[in-house]
Structure 1
């Protein structure tokens, strides 16, 4: 009976670790250089009087920029979310 619990504990531990690894993604995945450059060109064509896009600069990881959402596993840019509620 005791070995049955050990097997279940082992299975549960492996399943938990696998799930955690899937959720975390690849922490070394960073923004692609060509996508970072495209976002900087896009920013240049925007008006930003409130300076919300101040983080969109330099050589940094564009996945950490305000309003930019990237895929956790590939680092590929997915979405820009710049909606303001002031204009509603």
Structure 2
């Protein structure tokens, strides 16, 4: 599973393209976010990616979970969105 880190400044279309390429490659993506703005960009990217892969016969499933990550030597709680093909 490939890990993508999304921030509030991430371009949703670029992230969507990365997700679509991972799904077409037969794998799944774990998207890690911290904060509401980053979660917003990640969700928009998943919605856009669904439109990218639908013509190829793929449908996406997203499972949210919590995870611990390290930022600047400090432990933070992040949200991870596990995106896979249905």
Higher RCO, 1 vs 2 (CA within 8 Å, ≥6 residues apart): 2
More strand by share: 2
Return the TM-score normalized by structure 2. Answer: 0.30
